[in-house]
Amino acid sequence: MSWNGSLPKPSRTARAKLTRTEKLARRHAEDDEKRKVRRRDRTCRFPLCGCRTLRLRREVAHIDHKGMGGNPAGDRSTASRMVYLCVHRHQDGRVSFHKGTLQAKPLTPAGFDGPIAWLVDADVLFPGMYHYVHKSSRWAEVGRESAPGVLEEGLLTAQQRRVLEQLARMDL
Protein backbone atom coordinates (compact mmCIF):
# COMPACT_ATOMS: atom_id res chain seq x y z
CA MET A 1 0.00 0.00 0.00
CA SER A 2 1.43 3.37 -0.95
CA TRP A 3 0.10 6.87 -0.92
CA ASN A 4 1.05 8.97 -3.94
CA GLY A 5 0.09 12.37 -2.55
CA SER A 6 -2.36 13.35 -5.32
CA LEU A 7 -5.40 12.29 -3.29
CA PRO A 8 -6.14 13.11 0.34
CA LYS A 9 -4.34 10.71 2.66
CA PRO A 10 -6.73 8.04 4.00
CA SER A 11 -7.43 7.97 7.70
CA ARG A 12 -5.36 5.79 10.03
CA THR A 13 -8.33 3.42 10.41
CA ALA A 14 -8.77 3.12 6.64
CA ARG A 15 -5.03 2.44 6.18
CA ALA A 16 -5.08 -0.22 8.94
CA LYS A 17 -8.13 -1.89 7.41
CA LEU A 18 -6.49 -1.92 3.97
CA THR A 19 -3.32 -3.41 5.46
CA ARG A 20 -5.35 -6.16 7.19
CA THR A 21 -7.20 -6.85 3.94
CA GLU A 22 -3.92 -7.14 2.01
CA LYS A 23 -2.45 -9.50 4.63
CA LEU A 24 -5.58 -11.64 4.60
CA ALA A 25 -5.53 -11.84 0.80
CA ARG A 26 -1.85 -12.84 0.89
CA ARG A 27 -2.59 -15.53 3.51
CA HIS A 28 -5.47 -16.95 1.43
CA ALA A 29 -3.25 -17.03 -1.66
CA GLU A 30 -0.53 -18.85 0.29
CA ASP A 31 -3.07 -21.37 1.65
CA ASP A 32 -4.21 -22.09 -1.92
CA GLU A 33 -0.60 -22.68 -2.98
CA LYS A 34 -0.03 -24.99 0.00
CA ARG A 35 -3.06 -27.04 -1.05
CA LYS A 36 -1.53 -27.39 -4.52
CA VAL A 37 1.73 -28.64 -2.95
CA ARG A 38 -0.11 -31.22 -0.81
CA ARG A 39 -1.98 -32.49 -3.87
CA ARG A 40 1.22 -32.61 -5.95
CA ASP A 41 3.47 -34.36 -3.41
CA ARG A 42 0.91 -36.31 -1.31
CA THR A 43 3.60 -37.45 1.19
CA CYS A 44 7.06 -36.45 2.38
CA ARG A 45 9.10 -35.86 -0.74
CA PHE A 46 12.46 -36.71 0.82
CA PRO A 47 13.61 -39.96 -0.81
CA LEU A 48 13.05 -43.21 1.12
CA CYS A 49 11.95 -41.23 4.17
CA GLY A 50 10.90 -43.33 7.15
CA CYS A 51 8.31 -40.84 8.37
CA ARG A 52 5.39 -42.94 7.20
CA THR A 53 6.28 -45.88 9.45
CA LEU A 54 6.87 -43.49 12.36
CA ARG A 55 3.60 -41.65 11.57
CA LEU A 56 5.21 -38.25 11.63
CA ARG A 57 3.22 -35.14 10.80
CA ARG A 58 3.88 -33.58 7.40
CA GLU A 59 3.93 -29.92 6.50
CA VAL A 60 4.60 -27.65 3.56
CA ALA A 61 8.11 -26.18 3.67
CA HIS A 62 9.14 -22.92 2.03
CA ILE A 63 12.51 -23.34 0.39
CA ASP A 64 13.27 -19.67 1.09
CA HIS A 65 12.38 -19.42 4.77
CA LYS A 66 11.49 -15.85 5.78
CA GLY A 67 13.96 -16.05 8.68
CA MET A 68 16.71 -16.93 6.19
CA GLY A 69 16.17 -14.07 3.77
CA GLY A 70 12.94 -15.20 2.07
CA ASN A 71 10.39 -12.57 1.16
CA PRO A 72 7.17 -13.33 3.11
CA ALA A 73 5.13 -11.17 0.73
CA GLY A 74 6.83 -12.31 -2.45
CA ASP A 75 7.18 -15.35 -4.67
CA ARG A 76 8.49 -17.65 -1.92
CA SER A 77 4.89 -18.77 -1.37
CA THR A 78 4.24 -20.26 -4.81
CA ALA A 79 3.87 -24.02 -5.26
CA SER A 80 7.05 -24.10 -7.35
CA ARG A 81 8.98 -22.73 -4.33
CA MET A 82 7.51 -25.09 -1.68
CA VAL A 83 7.81 -28.81 -0.95
CA TYR A 84 5.89 -31.24 1.30
CA LEU A 85 8.10 -32.74 4.03
CA CYS A 86 7.74 -34.56 7.32
CA VAL A 87 8.35 -32.43 10.39
CA HIS A 88 11.66 -34.27 10.96
CA ARG A 89 13.13 -33.25 7.57
CA HIS A 90 11.57 -29.79 7.71
CA GLN A 91 12.71 -28.62 11.12
CA ASP A 92 13.33 -31.22 13.87
CA GLY A 93 16.03 -33.59 12.58
CA ARG A 94 19.78 -33.08 12.50
CA VAL A 95 19.42 -33.21 8.72
CA SER A 96 16.67 -30.65 8.07
CA PHE A 97 15.94 -27.40 6.25
CA HIS A 98 15.75 -25.35 9.45
CA LYS A 99 19.09 -26.66 10.71
CA GLY A 100 20.65 -25.71 7.36
CA THR A 101 21.90 -29.27 6.76
CA LEU A 102 19.44 -30.23 3.99
CA GLN A 103 18.89 -28.60 0.63
CA ALA A 104 16.63 -29.37 -2.31
CA LYS A 105 17.90 -28.20 -5.69
CA PRO A 106 15.43 -27.92 -8.59
CA LEU A 107 16.70 -29.61 -11.74
CA THR A 108 14.39 -27.80 -14.18
CA PRO A 109 13.02 -24.25 -14.57
CA ALA A 110 9.70 -25.57 -13.18
CA GLY A 111 11.22 -25.40 -9.71
CA PHE A 112 9.78 -27.93 -7.26
CA ASP A 113 6.96 -28.75 -9.68
CA GLY A 114 9.67 -30.75 -11.50
CA PRO A 115 12.39 -33.17 -10.35
CA ILE A 116 14.82 -32.13 -7.62
CA ALA A 117 18.19 -33.24 -6.26
CA TRP A 118 18.59 -33.73 -2.50
CA LEU A 119 21.79 -32.45 -0.89
CA VAL A 120 22.97 -33.09 2.66
CA ASP A 121 25.71 -31.24 4.52
CA ALA A 122 28.73 -33.55 4.11
CA ASP A 123 30.06 -32.63 7.56
CA VAL A 124 26.97 -34.26 9.12
CA LEU A 125 27.50 -37.42 7.06
CA PHE A 126 31.28 -37.57 7.50
CA PRO A 127 32.08 -35.60 10.69
CA GLY A 128 35.48 -33.96 10.44
CA MET A 129 36.26 -35.74 7.18
CA TYR A 130 34.26 -33.95 4.48
CA HIS A 131 37.27 -31.80 3.55
CA TYR A 132 39.07 -34.99 2.52
CA VAL A 133 36.11 -36.77 0.98
CA HIS A 134 34.44 -33.85 -0.85
CA LYS A 135 37.09 -31.27 -1.62
CA SER A 136 34.99 -29.24 -4.04
CA SER A 137 31.77 -28.83 -2.07
CA ARG A 138 30.40 -29.09 1.43
CA TRP A 139 27.21 -30.67 0.04
CA ALA A 140 26.80 -34.35 -0.85
CA GLU A 141 24.02 -35.37 -3.23
CA VAL A 142 22.08 -38.28 -1.71
CA GLY A 143 19.35 -38.66 -4.31
CA ARG A 144 17.91 -37.30 -7.53
CA GLU A 145 14.37 -37.47 -8.84
CA SER A 146 13.46 -38.32 -12.43
CA ALA A 147 9.98 -36.81 -11.89
CA PRO A 148 8.38 -35.12 -8.87
CA GLY A 149 8.54 -37.63 -6.02
CA VAL A 150 10.11 -40.40 -8.16
CA LEU A 151 13.64 -41.32 -7.03
CA GLU A 152 16.11 -42.53 -9.68
CA GLU A 153 17.01 -45.65 -7.66
CA GLY A 154 18.94 -47.25 -10.52
CA LEU A 155 21.40 -44.35 -10.46
CA LEU A 156 22.11 -44.45 -6.70
CA THR A 157 25.63 -45.34 -5.66
CA ALA A 158 26.13 -47.81 -2.81
CA GLN A 159 27.18 -44.92 -0.56
CA GLN A 160 24.06 -42.88 -1.43
CA ARG A 161 21.85 -45.91 -0.68
CA ARG A 162 23.54 -46.40 2.73
CA VAL A 163 23.08 -42.73 3.58
CA LEU A 164 19.40 -42.76 2.54
CA GLU A 165 18.79 -45.93 4.58
CA GLN A 166 20.44 -44.30 7.61
CA LEU A 167 18.34 -41.17 7.08
CA ALA A 168 15.18 -43.30 6.71
CA ARG A 169 15.82 -44.74 10.19
CA MET A 170 15.94 -41.12 11.38
CA ASP A 171 19.44 -41.71 12.80
CA LEU A 172 20.38 -38.29 11.43
Write the pLDDT tens digit of every residue in 94-148.
999 999 999 999 999 999 999 999 999 988 887 765 555 555 578 889 999 999 9
Q: Report domain extents, the chain.
A: 12-168
In sequence order, the β-bridge partners of residue 81 are none
Q: How far apart are CA 15 and CA 55, in angstroms?
A: 45
Q: Is the pTM of this model over 0.85?
A: no
Sign of the dihedral defined by the CA atoms of residues 37, 41, 44, 45, in that order: negative
Percent of the chain with pLDDT over 90: 43
Q: How far apart are CA 66 and CA 71, in angstroms?
A: 6
